[in-house]
Structure formats: structure tokens, C-alpha cells
Amino acid sequence: MAETTTEPGEESLFDAPPMGEQERMVEAILFASAEPVSVRDLAGRMPHGADPAEALVHLRKRYEGRGVQVVKVGDGWAIRTAADLGFLMQKETVETRKLSRAAIETLAIIAYHQPVTRAEIEEIRGVSVSRGTIDQLLDMEWIRFGRRKMTPGRPVTFVVTEGFLDHFGLESARDLPGLKELRAAGLLDNRPPPGLGAASDEDEDDDQDDMFEDG
């Protein structure tokens, strides 16, 4: 039986593309995707034998110090504007949404205590959580349903999404600022904890003027 030989310089159909070409492929996929892309998804789109994880290492280094950077968001990767240049994008805002203090506190509890149930959120806040507050955060895709807890009633839990991490430039929830940083930024005050009376989210929202914008 005649042996199949490969002439010098001739690439096998099963050879992975050169690393430089793999970088270009990863770059093209991330650039075209509005959402972070996982290494597994990259591998599924790239030719057989490609190593997207290695290509990401080289690509991330190539973008260091540039106006856009390759960043890790949760389990995925994305091309995003450099953090120190974010102010240049202010005029590109399409939609402005506001969160009440109740929604901010609920979101913060989920981010710092996830996975957390609605009952646990209410216990921490000291007031009942309205369905509208949870629905708003779900609609914004900043939180999602997590696994049910192995406790009586199997209550659902809530966790933050990659969209939340992406919006705040976080790789994971472990990168959230601590209490010291929050106080230094003026995001925590010394007001008495809610729940000393028969309060609810609706009551708080009526009494609070503090809002923040999601742009």
C-alpha cells in the first residue's frame, strides 16, 4: 500500500492554523459578539486543533494599553473599552434607567450573598421585597434564577448575571468592592437599618429620592 506523504511546506487538513491566525479568529469572534464568549464556544467555532485559550493569552497581551482591551467576564471573554476611557462613551448612551434604593439594596445583597433566596433578602434588609423590585432586576438581566436550595419548600435563589459583571467591569463577584471601599465612595451611609417599622419596598420608594442611573 502506498504511503501518503506531505510535501515540505504543505499543511495537513488536520493541522491547526498558525497561532497568529488563531488570534485573528478569536479577535473577529469577540469583536462581532455583543455578549461575552466562553472558551468552549470559541473552540466550537474555530478549526480542529485550534487552541483558543492560548490565542486569548496572546491577544490579551497584544491589546494591553490600547483603547480597547480583551477582558474576562464571568466564564466568557469580550472586547471592551478601556476602563479609564469610559467617559468618552457617555454620548453613546441609548437608554437611561433608574433604580430605587430598594432595588439597589436588593441587588447589592444578591451580589454579595449569592445564591440567596427572597426570604433571606428580606431578612437581611429587614423589609419585605416587592415583586416589582425583583422583576425589574430580572428584566434588566442583572440577576437571574439560581439553583433551588435544599431546604423545605425548595425555594429558588437569585444570582447576578454576566451582564451585571460586564456593566461594572468585574471579572467575577469576588471582585466586588469591600465595605471600606463602598464607604469611601460614598455609597454607604449611616442611616438606621430598614425594618424598624412595618415597612416595605413600596414604603421606602415613596420616601427615597436617591436614584442611580444605568446608562
Measured CA to CA, the distance from residue 102 to residue 47 in angstroms comes to 48
CATH of the domain at 111: 1.10.10.10
Distance from C-alpha of 184 to C-alpha of 187, rounded to nearest angstrom: 8
Please check whether residues 142 and 65 belong to one and the same domain.
Answer: no
* Domain that residue 38 falls in: 19-88
Residue-wise pLDDT for 23-57, tens only, equals 999 999 999 998 899 999 999 999 989 999 999 99
Distance CA 82, CA 80 (A): 6
Grade residue 191 by pLDDT with cuts at 50, 70 and 90. Answer: very low
Residues 123 and 171 in one domain: yes
Tell whether the model's pLDDT for residue 130 goes beyond 70: yes
Percent of the chain with pLDDT over 70: 73
pLDDT band, very low/low/confident/very high, at 2 (cuts 50, 70, 90): very low
Q: Do residues 81 and 110 share a domain?
A: no
Residue 89, pLDDT score = 74
- The reply to whether 11 falls in a domain is no
Q: Please say which residue of 41, 65, 88 terminates a domain.
A: 88
CA 68, CA 127: separation in Å to the nearest integer? 42
Question: Cell numbers 430598614 label which residue?
Answer: 194
Q: Are residues 127 and 186 in the same domain?
A: yes
Residue located via cell numbers 463577584 = 173
Surface-to-core class of residue 161, CB atoms within 10 Å of its CB (0-12 exposed, 13-18 middle, 19+ buried) = middle
Distance CA 166, CA 169 (A): 5
- Per residue in 56-103, pLDDT (tens digit) is 999 999 999 999 999 998 889 999 988 888 778 765 545 556 778 888
Residue 167, number of CB atoms within 10 A of its CB: 16
Is the dihedral angle over the CA atoms 118, 35, 164, 93 positive or is it negative? negative
Task: Specify the higher pLDDT residue, 27 or 7.
Answer: 27
Residues 75 and 108 in one domain: no
Counting the structural domains of the chain, the total is 2
Using the predicted structure, report yes or no on whether residue 210 has a pLDDT greater than 50. no
Q: Does residue 9 lie within any of the structural domains?
A: no
